[in-house]
Structure 1
Amino acid sequence: MITSEAILYYAEHPVEFVEDLLHVIPDPQQAAILRSVAANQMTSVRSGHGIGKSAVEAWAVIWFLATRPFPKIPCTAPTQHQLFDILWAEVSKWLRNNKALERELQWTKEKVYMKQYPEEWFAVARTASKPDALQGFHAEDILYIIDEASGVDDKVFEPVLGALSTPGARLLMCGNPTQLSGFFYDSHHKNRGSYSTFHIDGRNSSRVSQDFINTIITMYGEDSDVFRVRVAGEFPRQENDVFIPLPLVEKSIMTQWNEPEHPASIHIGCDVARFGDDKTVIGYKVDEKVEFWKRRSGQDTMKTADDIIELGETLVRRYRYQRTIPVKVDDSGVGGGVVDRLRQIKRNNPERFEWLDVIPVVFGQRIKHEFYHDSTTYMMSVVKKLLMPYTEEGLPKPVELVLPDDNDLIGQLSTRKYGMTEQSKIRVESKEAMKKRGLHSPDEADCVLLLCLPVKPKRKGDAKH
C-alpha cells in the first residue's frame, strides 16, 4: 500500500508515479502532457496517429484515482470502440502492472472504482453519443478525459465548463485535429490562452513507424490533408477544389453506430480491378454503416462473383433479411464478367438466390442532370449529401452514413478534386487524372459510391428474375 507521504508526493508528480508504480518510462512528450495535467486546469493535445495518447490518458486515470480522495473521472470518446476497446482496455492493462493498485481498484467494463467506496471514488466510461454523457458529476477532485475530442459534439462539453470552476477540476483532451470548428478546434485557436496546448507531429515521435509515415506520403503526398491530420497532427486546410472535405469524412468515422437486429436496408457494392495495382473491393452497407468485406488484386471474375454470393448469404442469415439485396457492380471493363456470372447464378437457382438483385453501374458515364456531368460525379454528390450534418435548410439531421476508419478510403474520398465543364456542370476528376497527380486508384472510395447509390430494396417476391 502507498504511504500517505508518497501519495502527497505523487499527487504533484505524475511522471514519477507512472515510472515507480506502473513500471513504464513515458517518452518526453508523454511526460510533458502528464505534468501539464498536474499543473494546469485544462490541457489539450492535438497529434497524428500512434503517438501513445491512449496510454497517457490511461496513466492519468490511474494516477488521479490513486492520489486524490474520493475523485471522479468521467471519460468519453465519440464511439464505443475508441472508448472501450482502446482507452478502457489501456486502463486495465496498466493496472495489472501493480498488484497493490489492482487489489485496491476494481476494473469493470464501464467503471474503475476504489473497492471500499464504489459509488464515491471512481472513473467511468460514457460514450459521447448522448449530450448528457458528462453531466451529473460532482466532486472536489474531478478529471475529465476526452479522447478523440475533435469528434465530440460541443453540447457534451457544456457541463465540463461549469465543473471547471472548482479548483480541483481538470480536463485532458486528446485527438487528431480532424474538424475545423468546435470546442477542440477552439482550444488550439481563439481559446488557446485558456489551455496548456500540445502539438505532437508523428514524425517526431519514436512510437510512430517510418513505414506508416512513408505509406501516407507515397499515397497522398506531404501537402495532403490526410498527411496533415494523420501524421503531422495539423488541422486540415480548407481546399476549395476538393469535392468532399476531409472533416466530413473524419466526422463520419467517429460516429457511434449501434447494429440493428432487423436492418431496414442492406446493400452490396463491388469495384472490380481493371489492371496494375488496382484492387477489387467488395463492401456492404447495413442501414447507415459501411464495411469492407474483401480486397484483393487480380481480375478473376468468377472468384469475385463467388465472394459476392458468400457475402450476400452471410448477411441474409445474420439478419434474417426478407428483402432483396441490391448488388451494385462496376460494369466497366472486366466488371461486366462479374455481372454476367451473378446473373447466371441467379438464373440457375432463382429460389435460393431470390435475395440477389444485380445492378450494373458504369463509372464516368455522361448523364442528363441539371448539375452533374457524369455518373461518378452524381454518386460523389450522393455521398457528400449523406455526410453533411445539416439539411439544405440548415437544420440538424440524423446520421445517414457511418464510414469505416480506413486510411485508403479516407485519402481517396478527401483528395478527389472537381471542376466545371463548359456547360457549367460539376465534374469530379477521373481515375486517370488522380493517378497523374501521383494518387492511387480510388478503389475503396468507388466501392462506397456504389453502396450509396440510391436503390429501393424490394420484397423478395417482387424481385425480377
Structure 2
Amino acid sequence: MAEAATKRGDGPSLDDQIIDLAAACHFDPLRWSRVAWDWGTGELEGIDGPRDWQVDILTVIRDHLADPAKRYQPLQIAIASGHGIGKSALMGMVSNWGMSCFSDAMLVTTANTDTQMRTKTAPEIGKWFRTSITGHWFDVQATSIKSRDKARADKWRQDFVPWSQHNTEAFAGLHNLGKIIILEFDEASKIHDKVWEVAEGALTDENTVIIWLVFGNPTQNAGRFRECFRRYRHRWVTRQVDSRTVPGTNKTLIAQWAADHGEDSDFFKIRVRGQFPAQSAMQFISADDVDKARARHLRKEQYAFAPVILGVDPAWTGDDKLEIMLRQGLYSKSLASLPRNDNDVEVANLIARLEDEYQADAVFVDAGYGTGIVSAGSVMGRSWRLIWFSGKPIDTGYLNKRAEIWGTGKRWIKAGGAIDPKDEDLYQDLIGPETVPRLDGKIQLESKEDMKERGLPSPNKGDALMLTFAEPVAKKERYGAGQGAAGSGKAAMDYDPLS
C-alpha cells in the first residue's frame, strides 16, 4: 500500500509524502489512526489497530466533519467507562491527528489532578506523538507539545493545563478562529463545574473545527460529567464502555470483582461497566429515589386532605435565587423562583399573596436570610415561622435542624413523595448534597459553601422543599370565604410530616 510505503520510505521526499497524507486525513481521524503508527510492532506488538470503541469515536468525529452543515458546530463527546479501556491512547491518537493534519492547531488537555496529568495523561499522549510518523515534527515536553517550527510554536501547540476553579484563564482563552480547537478532559467526573462552564462559554469561534472530548470513570452521580449523560445529553454524543468488551483488560480480575461484589453493585458498575452509581458514596439522597419521585403522578384525592405548607429559602448570594416551594402531603410544586431580592417588604408581599392563594396552613422561612422577611410579614399580621438550619434537632441522630429536615424529606421521597418531572433544578438540588463523616455518628450535611467548592450550586430549591418538614402542621378549618391562610381557624387533624 502507498500509505504503508510512506512509513517505510526514505530520502528527501518522505516529509512531502507525510504532508500529502496529512492533507488527505484532514477530516478523517480514523484513517489517520490506522496509518500513522506501526501497528503490530514495538510498543504496539500484538495490536493490529484501534480498538472497536476507539474506532466508533473516531468515526463519530469523521462523520461530523464530513458534513459541511455540522463541521463548524462544536462536537462534544463524553465517554464513561470501566478501567483499562485505552482512554489515554485515544486521546493520543486524536491529539496527534489534530496537530498533524491542521496547521496552527490549538489543543488544551486537563485531568482531575495535576499528578494524574503529569504522571499518566501527558506521558501517554506524548508516547503517541513520539511513535507517530509525524513524531519529528513536534517538540514533546512534560507540559506541552509544540511545533518544531519556532516561528509558529506559540500558535501550533498542545498544552497540559492544571485546572482551578479560581483560575480559569487557560480555558477562557480557547480561540483559534478558522482553524481547529481540541479540548480534552481526563477523569472528568472530578473536574470542577466552573471549569466546564468557562470552557463551554469559550468555544464560540465561527468557521472553526471544535472538538470537546471528556473521559472518565463514572464515580460521581452529580456534577457536569454526570449531566453529559442526563441533563445535557441532547448536546453530547455519549458512550458507556464496558471493560469486559475491550481487548487487553484483565478478565480474570474482573471475574473476581463480579463474584465478590455482584455485577449490579455500584463498585462493578463504576469500575467495569462504565455506568454511574445509583448513589455516590457520600450522596444523601440517591438519584434512583429522586427518579422515582419525579415519575409519580398523584390524583388530587391522594393529597387534598393534608395541610398546605410553604417553604421559603431566600437567596444568600447574588448568584442564588429566592425559592418558594409548596407541599401538600405527598404532592409538591414550585411557586416561585426569583433572582435575589433584598427588599424584604416586596418579598413578604409575594409570600402573603401565595399564602392566601393556596390557603396555606403554615409558612416556614430559612432564618439565615429570612429574618427581615418574617418581620415584614409580622407587620402584615402573618404568623410565619423562622427555621434556623443550625438549630437543635429533635432527633439526636442528626447534627442540626437542616440535617434533620432533609432526613425527613428523604423518607418522604421513599414513602411516595412526588416532584415535578420537568423541574431539573429541584432534581439536581435533591441529589446534590453529600454527608460529612463524623466520629460521633451524627448525620451532617455539607454546607452550601462546601457544595459550591465542589462546583455545585446552592440547593436553595431543595432547602425550600425540606423546610416544609420543619415542624408538624395541623390543617386549619376555615370559616367563611376570603379569610385566607392568615385568618383564624382550629386544627382539624394532627399532621404527621410523612402523611
TM-score by length of 2: 0.49
Which is greater in Rg? Answer: 2
The whole-number CA distance in structure 2 between the counterparts of 1:145 and 1:183 is: 14
Alignment of 1:65-464 (within 5 A): 65-98=99-132, 100-116=133-149, 117-130=152-165, 131-132=167-168, 133-139=170-176, 140-165=179-204, 166=206, 167-238=208-279, 370-371=396-397, 381-382=438-439, 390-391=446-447, 395-396=450-451
The amino acid that maps onto 1:18 is S
The whole-number CA distance in structure 1 between the counterparts of 2:251 and 2:58 is: 26
Closer, same or farther in 2 for the Cα pair 1:71/1:246, shift >3 Å? Answer: farther
The whole-number CA distance in structure 2 between the counterparts of 1:68 and 1:146 is: 21
The whole-number CA distance in structure 2 between the counterparts of 1:227 and 1:387 is: 28
Q: What SS class does the counterpart of residue 211 from structure 2 fall into?
A: strand
Alignment of 1:55-74 (within 5 A): 55-74=89-108
How big is the alpha-carbon RMSD for the aligned residues of Structure 1 and Structure 2?
Answer: 3.2
1:8 aligned partner: 23
Q: 1:48·1:231 contact (CA, 8 Å) conserved in 2?
A: yes
Closer, same or farther in 2 for the Cα pair 1:70/1:232, shift >3 Å? Answer: same
Closer, same or farther in 2 for the Cα pair 1:243/1:109, shift >3 Å? Answer: closer
Q: 2:175·2:203 contact (CA, 8 Å) conserved in 1?
A: no
Q: How much does 1:164 deviate? A: 2.9
Q: 2:99·2:157 contact (CA, 8 Å) conserved in 1?
A: yes
1:27 aligned partner: 51
The whole-number CA distance in structure 1 between the counterparts of 2:135 and 2:259 is: 45
Closer, same or farther in 2 for the Cα pair 1:20/1:184, shift >3 Å? Answer: same
Closer, same or farther in 2 for the Cα pair 1:68/1:161, shift >3 Å? Answer: same
Query: What's the CA shift string for 1:305-356, capped at 9, x where partnerless?
Result: xxxxxxxxxxxxxxxxxxxxxxxxxxxxxxxxxxxxxxxxxxxxxxxxxxxx
Q: What SS class does the counterpart of residue 371 from structure 1 fall into?
A: coil
The amino acid that maps onto 1:173 is V
Query: What's the CA shift string for 1:390-426, capped at 9, x where partnerless?
Result: 42x5554779xxxxxxxxxxxxxxxxxxxxxxxxxxx
Q: How much does 1:383 deviate? A: 10
The whole-number CA distance in structure 2 between the counterparts of 1:385 and 1:39 is: 54
Closer, same or farther in 2 for the Cα pair 1:128/1:66, shift >3 Å? Answer: same
Query: What's the CA shift string for 1:278-328, capped at 9, x where partnerless?
Result: xxxxxxxxxxxxxxxxxxxxxxxxxxxxxxxxxxxxxxxxxxxxxxxxxxx
The whole-number CA distance in structure 1 between the counterparts of 2:283 and 2:128 is: 40
TM-score by length of 1: 0.52
Task: Give the gaps of 5 or more residues in structure 2.
Answer: 1-14, 40-48, 65-74, 287-394, 399-434, 455-499
The whole-number CA distance in structure 2 between the counterparts of 1:243 and 1:62 is: 39
Q: What SS class does the counterpart of residue 26 from structure 2 fall into?
A: helix
Task: Give the gaps of 5 or more residues in structure 1.
Answer: 248-368, 373-377, 400-465
The whole-number CA distance in structure 2 between the counterparts of 1:397 and 1:77 is: 20
Q: How much does 1:202 deviate? A: 1.2
The amino acid that maps onto 1:199 is Q
Q: What SS class does the counterpart of residue 73 from structure 1 fall into?
A: strand
Q: What SS class does the counterpart of residue 198 from structure 1 fall into?
A: strand
Closer, same or farther in 2 for the Cα pair 1:12/1:82, shift >3 Å? Answer: same
The whole-number CA distance in structure 1 between the counterparts of 2:122 and 2:89 is: 10
The amino acid that maps onto 1:159 is V
Q: How much does 1:211 deviate? A: 1.9
Query: What's the CA shift string for 1:423-444, capped at 9, x where partnerless?
Result: xxxxxxxxxxxxxxxxxxxxxx
The whole-number CA distance in structure 2 between the counterparts of 1:383 and 1:150 is: 30
Q: What SS class does the counterpart of residue 215 from structure 2 fall into?
A: strand
Query: What's the CA shift string for 1:221-280, capped at 9, x where partnerless?
Result: 2221111111110010038xx777799xxxxxxxxxxxxxxxxxxxxxxxxxxxxxxxxx
Q: What SS class does the counterpart of residue 163 from structure 2 fall into?
A: coil
